[in-house]
């Protein structure tokens, strides 16, 4: 084995892309969950 398949740390470009992808999905998800909780609270508390 020469170690060709050993995992290497992600490069700076790859890390930026991963961060952008998480934000692209995470921010709308967080906003949607916030709105869900807010409207469910209104629904059940009147």
Q: Is residue 7 domain-resident?
A: no
Q: What is the pTM of this model?
A: 0.65
Domain that holds residue 36: 12-45
State the average pLDDT over residues 18-45: 96
Residue pLDDT, tens place only, 2-13: 656 767 777 889
String of DSSP letters for 1-46: --STTS--PPPHHHHHHHHHHHHHHHHHHHHHHHHHHHHHHHHHH-
Residue pLDDT, tens place only, 9-29: 778 899 999 999 999 999 999
Q: Is residue 6 domain-resident?
A: no
Query: What's the confidence (pLDDT) of residue 33?
Result: 98
Q: Is residue 2 domain-resident?
A: no
- How many structural domains is the chain composed of? 1
């Amino acid at each position: 084995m020469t170690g060709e398949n050993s995992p290497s740390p992600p490069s700076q470009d790859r890390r930026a892309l991963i961060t952008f992808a998480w934000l692209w999905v995470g921010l709308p998800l967080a906003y949607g969950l916030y709105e869900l909780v807010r409207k469910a609270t209104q629904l059940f508390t009147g």
